[in-house]
A and B are shown apart, each in its own frame.
Chain A
Amino acid sequence: MELAMGIMLGLLGLGAGCAMIAGIGPGIGEGNAVAKACEAIGRQPECKSDVTSTMIMGCAIAETTGLYGLIVAILLIFVAPGIFTGILKDAVNAMK
């Protein structure tokens, strides 16, 4: 039982770590988008206010993917162990 619990908690931690990988992509994408926005403002400086506003919104939306990963990781760390421990205990009791 202890071994199974240990394996389960280890796998949950691994899953949480894997979920946080989702945070890498949005950062790269946001960087590329802002670089292009800089070029656009260099060509048309009068559009700076509009471009900045649009970039803030675009970056916030792009970052949502990373936040999903963060939320999944937090739920895996704090909520899932309780649920899976219950399932494991029920399974062990059923086998007895």
Chain B
Amino acid sequence: MSGLDPAVKKETLYAAAWVLLLSLLMQAVFLIAGKWDLSVLLGNLGGALIALGSYFALAVTVSRAVEKGKPEEAARRVRASAGLRLAGSALLCVLLVAVLKTNVYATVIPLLFPRIGLFFRPAVDRKRGVTPEEPEGSDLID
């Protein structure tokens, strides 16, 4: 983890916090609905790990592609990574559901948790007092 870009660590930790929070919420919903069993817990764990792994891989790929500074190579790497990540997520989800017999809904819903966290990102940043910096000379554009 020491060789990683600080932005990668920050974004992955933010996504992990949301995945944890929303996973607990989903378990509570299953419990209240009376549909909770071990397959729900296993599915949630598997789905959350796949979602976080995919998000971490995305962050590392983007950070490394940007570091290299060659636009064509960066575009190629990110395109290849996007395809591989999606195929890997699909394969792992199918394996979880078909082999471990996990609950389908509890497996696929956590895939969206990091994105739900990003949806609330502006509100969280506003609450923490983080404002986007104005680029230098942006006042001259108008």
B20 CB within 8 Å of chain A: no
Within 8 A of B (CB), among A16-49: 20, 23-24, 26-28, 30-32, 34-39, 41-42, 44, 47-49
Q: Is A52's CB under 8 angstroms from B63's CB?
A: yes
- Contacts A53-B11, A59-B82 known; 10 new A-B pairs at CB < 8 A: A23-B86, A27-B83, A34-B62, A35-B72, A35-B74, A38-B71, A52-B66, A55-B66, A60-B58, A60-B115
- The tally of CB-CB contacts under 8 A between chains A and B is 129
Q: B21-29, B30-38, B90-98: which one contacts chain A? A: B90-98
Interface class of chain A by DSSP? helix
- Chain A contact residues (Cβ within 8 angstroms of B): what range? 35 or more
Interface check A87, CB cutoff 8 A: no
Are B69's CB and A64's CB within 8 A? no
B90 engages A75 (CB within 8 Å): no
Contacts of B15 in A (CB 8 A): 60
